[in-house]
Amino acid sequence: MNARLTLADIADQRAYERERDDFRARIIKLKKLRRVSVGPVVTFVFENRDTIRFQIQEMARVEKLSTGEAIEVELDTYNPLIPMSGELSGTMFIEMVTDEQQRHWKPRLVGILDAMSLRIGSGVGAVTIKAEIEEAHAETLTRAIPPSVNYMRFVVGDDAMIDAFETGPVSLVIDHPNYSESTVLAGATVAELLTDLRCG
């Protein structure tokens, strides 16, 4: 079950150091299944309770957060990315690592945050589910240039839609005038994401 994380789920720094190597290796393996490239500069990582716990533990480690109040701030920030039953959520990265990429893509990607969707099935029977920007980050839609990190959710819905997701094919699609790209999710990725959709 993808229940929200609480303070009790976040290990203190000494305890985390003892588990970190094994936990990190597990998350790296998990993220390989959950990471999907969509075109040349966009990557989407589907999040779950484990990836979010890792994010919070690493933030606490790097920033040396030790008080309950400081950890609660991170929980409030990242808990909304844990999908509930019938949902998928994740982080959309716009990855422009060179100056040339920045100059080429930045002015062309205005509005891209409103152009991502999940397509379930194919042909005339395909269903398109538009990505919803996480409420706390919805202000990014008004920016002239999209930020490099964006938080999104797909509400897949009831058991019938989840069954259709399992049958596939499933694609991540960006339908933007300057960036029209799609990627069919691998079978192993679909199987992994079904654990999110059926987590309730």
Task: Give the SS3 label for residue 3.
Answer: coil
Token pair recorded at residue 4: 């929200």
The per-residue pLDDT for 15 is 93
For the chain (200 residues), the mean pLDDT of every run of 10, in chain order, is 85 92 96 96 95 93 85 90 93 89 87 93 91 70 72 92 94 96 96 89
Task: Count the neighbouring beta carbons within 10 Å of the beta carbon of residue 26.
Answer: 13
- Please tell me the predicted confidence (pLDDT) of residue 142: 52
Q: Distance between CA atoms of 88 and 69, rounded to whole angstroms?
A: 28
**pLDDT score at 90:** 93
Answer positive or negative: Cα dihedral of 4, 67, 65, 138.
positive
Cβ(112)–Cβ(174) under 8 Å? yes
The predicted structure's pLDDT at residue 193:
97
Q: What is the pLDDT of residue 184?
A: 97
* DSSP labels, 81-92: GSPPTTEEEEEE
Whether pTM > 0.85 for this model: the answer is: yes
SS3 13: helix
